[in-house]
Amino acid sequence: MPALIGPLAPLTKPNLSIVLRQMAPWAALCVALAADPAWAAAMRDDAVGGGASAEAAGPASDLPLRTRHDEDKIDFAADQVDYDDTNDVVVATGNVFLRRGEQTVRANTVRWNRKTGQIMAQGQLRVVDANGNELLTDQMELSEDLSVGLTHNMLMLMREGGRLAANEGRRDSNGHFVLTQAAYTGCDVVDSKGCEKKPIWKVTARHVEYDPDKKIVRFKGARLSLFGASIVPLPSLQVATDGRPLPGFLVPDFRTSAANGFEFSSTYYARLANNKDLAITGYAFTKANPMAKVHYRQLGDTGAFQITGYLTRSAATDVSGLTTQQKWRGYFDANGKYQLSENWSLDFSGRFASDRTFLRRYYISSDDTLRSNINLERIGQTSYFSLSGWAFQTLRATGTQGQVPLAVPMIDYRRRFNENVLGGKIELRVNTLAITRSAGQDMQRAFASAEWNLRKMTPMGQIITLTALGRGDVYHSSDNLLTSTAIYRGTAGWQGRATATAAVDITWPLVGPLFGGTQVLTPHVQVVAAPPTRNMAIPNEDARAIELEDVNLFALNRFPGYDRIEDGNRVTYGMEWRLERPSWRINANVGQSYRLSSEPTLLPQGTGLSDRMSDIVGRTEIRYRDFFKITHRYRLDHDSFVFRRNEVDAALGSDTTYLEVGYARLNRNITTSQEDLVDSNELRTAGRIAFAKFWSVFGSGVFDLSDKSLLANTSTASFQPLRTRLGVSFQTDCFQFDLNWRRDYVTIGDAVRGSSFELRFSLRNLGFR
């Protein structure tokens, strides 16, 4: 039987017999609808150019188009419509569909009593509101505006995944929908085969009130049940049907540690507006005074920022072992980023701790240096500008805050010119930096440089790059003797420096098939020439941690910063090989450099560059899909072929089950009088094993493997674990449980060594985490 469409159906070529049988119901229905003001208005609007919803039984083309100027209009469709003129009742049966605005109703039968205004829907009833929440039941009473009235045995499927079931529901005088003997869960209640299953957790309540205007469900007399056992009452619980977070307390966390004893923390969350929220956390300890935490976030039209703060009052044991009187202790952390325009942006980060042990004692962070910065940046088509500043706070046991630099301002400007000069491109750069210390050396620097590059490809495929670089520097420094390492001091007062560098770089990619894949073999040769440069009179602030690696082998200046410039003439040579097959990829490179001049170099011993023949550096990476990856970085002594640097990083597995191993051994033979970094030998491990569908165990560890020969200049004991962690997790679509064990093996002040245990819960769709 063709669908009967209201308020107005499009003109089609009808079947005459069907039309004759349907004439009486159609006439009765038209009279009934015309007598109702809202439906009559909708009918008139559709006659002008609107129509019923496109979402109805039967082909969409059978439905007239809807207009959006009248949200009170109700569109409908059904397989059959009958009218009882004696009782003034309209009955629609078979794939009944009603729409008012964004709300829809589907049912097998809809009976409308025009005398009482009551609409009764029955049979596989499905109501979808404007927010996408679905209400399923077998029978329901509706008002003339399609508002839900009385129902039994209902189930509400919320858009964000929550499910609310009740024995009975009715609408009160305030327009709220009141449910009795209700239950709510964020878990699936059917499995992948469509069979019913019990949810892991649910909230049961004697009384539930749904406010459709505020889109909030309020529970009264609620209790939380976990794995079928009622465990905790919830005196005040609210859930938003549109998925937005609501104010309230989050699930508490529990921890026990050697420094603080048993710890209980609870967070109150408040959504201040659509673009800002606030979380206040209270901590209670058995071995320490209470602590408070505040976390604020705000999102604007051009960017966002967040602020976190901790505060407590307690005695502190510093890194020297002295215990202070009761004092205020805390930590501040803020960061943000703003896109001011298409080209301009501003980002900032600020971190400060009241003392050196606060973060470790309360398990906030293990960082030994806190960095704060602000950066105003402009990125153009051919130019770049940055104005920034940096501040640091040392948390190291042996660090001196007075020796820590404050770098303000730091200005960097670059400009690339598109016009060709002798066939190449020119880039200009200007850079300034000012460093101050409260008890150390101060330095101010400015330099300007011009770099010309020409890149050509020969008919045989060689890629030749010619580079010419000129640079001039001006430095000023004071209190130079306060720098403990002599080669970093420079000469006090004003100093100047000028340098020029020329380079020829040649690569020759050779491509061919191998092992069913494609290989690329690329020989690489570079020649660099630079006159002797005035380096030792210049203070060294940013070029201290130099070491030859595969990433800087072919750099014009292999120092990491600007305060030191590698001079002299040298030739650098190497090879890169890459093989790509389906699912497999291998990439390897190796290289070395040779200094043509025999003059002494300023490069320290043990960096791989102090002799005329450099050490051999390289890297090998093997990858199989996203399942396996291993990377080996190394530096071999050019005389003995002993590993001076040996690093291996390997990862195996998937997102749920994996193993990661990292090993790093630095045997550079660098004395502490020449370099900040000492030799080390460290192993890092991390892994997770998933089992039984929802369970997983995970762990990680950092171990010091240094032997006495490596640590002749240090007091560190050989082979000791630094940090270990082990945990078990249970995670489903709606529930997560984590139990973590962590052990720290180093005592720093009142951040004492020992074990800690942490218990965390997470429940989906209750606003928890």
Model confidence over 499-526: pLDDT tens digits? 999 999 999 999 999 998 999 999 999 9
Residues 453-462 have pLDDT tens digits of 999 999 999 9
- Which has more confidence, 597 or 563? 563
What pLDDT is attached to residue 674? 55
Contacts by residues 47-55 (CB-CB < 8 Å, ≥ 24 positions apart):
47/8, 51/7, 51/8, 51/10, 51/75, 52/5, 52/6, 52/7, 52/8, 52/76, 52/77, 52/99, 53/77, 53/97, 53/99, 53/104, 55/97, 55/99, 55/104
Mean pLDDT, residues 445-455 taken together: 98
**Is pLDDT above 60 for 46?**
no
Q: How far apart are CA 207 and CA 237, in angstroms?
A: 12
What sign does the CA torsion over 282, 283, 284, 290 have? negative
Mean pLDDT, residues 307-318 taken together: 92
In order, the DSSP letters of 466-503 are EEEEEEEEEEEEE-GGG-SSGGGT--SEEEEEEEEEEE
What pLDDT is attached to residue 579? 97
Q: Which of 66-70, 106-110, 374-378 has the highest mean pLDDT?
A: 374-378
State the alpha helices, DSSP H only, in 318-388: 358-361
**Is pLDDT above 70 for 63?**
no
Q: Residue 549's closest CA among 614, 492, 611, 505? A: 614
Mean pLDDT, residues 553-581 taken together: 95
Residue 605, CA atoms < 13 Å, CB-side half-sphere? 6
**Is pLDDT above 80 for 49?**
no
What sign does the CA torsion over 119, 120, 124, 125 have? positive
Q: Residue 142's closest CA among 132, 129, 131? A: 129
User: pTM value?
Assistant: 0.79
Q: Residue 638's closest CA among 703, 548, 568? A: 548
Domain ranges (residues) in the chain: 1-145, 147-244, 246-397, 412-628+672-677
Q: How far apart are CA 515 and CA 519, in angstroms?
A: 9
Phi, psi of 60 (to 5 degrees): -60, -30
Structure tokens at 57: 């039984």
Residues 249-273 have pLDDT tens digits of 888 899 999 889 999 999 999 999 9
Mean pLDDT computed over every residue of the chain: 85
**Is pLDDT above 50 for 752?**
yes
**Is pLDDT above 90 for 399?**
no
Structure tokens at 505: 């770089």
Specify whether the CB–CB gap between 456 and 420 falls below 8 A: no
Kindly list the distances between the CA atom of residue 161 and the CA atoms of 156, 333, 731, in Å, as whole numbers in the listed order.
Answer: 10, 34, 16
Q: Residue 208's closest CA among 199, 216, 197, 200? A: 216
Residues 701-729 have pLDDT tens digits of 999 888 654 444 444 446 688 889 999 99
Let me know how long the chain is: 769
Q: How far apart are CA 176 and CA 35, in angstroms?
A: 29
Q: How far apart are CA 263 and CA 291, in angstroms?
A: 10
- The rounded percent of the chain whose pLDDT value lies above 70 is 87
Structure tokens at 54: 């496109």
Kindly list the distances between the CA atom of residue 49 and the CA atoms of 69, 426, 556, in Å, as whole numbers in the listed order.
Answer: 11, 65, 73
Q: How many other C-beta atoms are found inside a 10 Å radius of the C-beta of residue 471? A: 20
Residues 322-368 have pLDDT tens digits of 777 889 999 999 999 999 999 999 999 999 999 999 999 999 998 99
What pLDDT is attached to residue 671? 61
What pLDDT is attached to residue 569? 95
Under the banding of pLDDT at 50, 70 and 90, the label for residue 72 is: low
Q: How do strand 327-339 and strand 658-666 relate by DSSP bridges? A: unpaired
Phi, psi of 198 (to 5 degrees): -80, 135
Specify whether the CB–CB gap between 469 and 451 falls below 8 A: yes
Residues 74-90 have pLDDT tens digits of 788 999 999 988 888 99
Q: How far apart are CA 454 and CA 205, in angstroms?
A: 76
Q: How far apart are CA 218 and CA 222, in angstroms?
A: 10
Q: Residue 701's closest CA among 742, 644, 730? A: 742
Kindly list the distances between the CA atom of residue 425 and the CA atoms of 466, 507, 543, 557, 743, in Å, as whole numbers in the listed order.
Answer: 11, 20, 28, 20, 56
Phi, psi of 161 (to 5 degrees): 110, -10
Judge if 1-145 and 147-244 fold alike in CATH terms: yes
**1-145 maps to CATH 1.10.10:** no
What pLDDT is attached to residue 6? 31
Q: How far apart are CA 132 and CA 136, in angstroms?
A: 13
**Is pLDDT above 70 for 242?**
yes
What pLDDT is attached to residue 718? 61
**Is pLDDT above 70 for 676?**
no
- CATH top-level class of 147-244: mainly beta
Residue 490, CA atoms < 13 Å, CB-side half-sphere? 28
Q: How far apart are CA 65 and CA 52, in angstroms?
A: 6
**Is pLDDT above 90 for 745?**
no
Helix (H) or strand (E) holding 629: strand 628-636
What sign does the CA torsion over 11, 15, 16, 17 have? negative
Specify whether the CB–CB gap between 215 and 242 falls below 8 A: yes
Residue with tokens 């039941």: 137
**Is pLDDT above 70 for 41?**
no
What pLDDT is attached to residue 35? 37
Q: Residue 632's closest CA among 643, 620, 644? A: 620
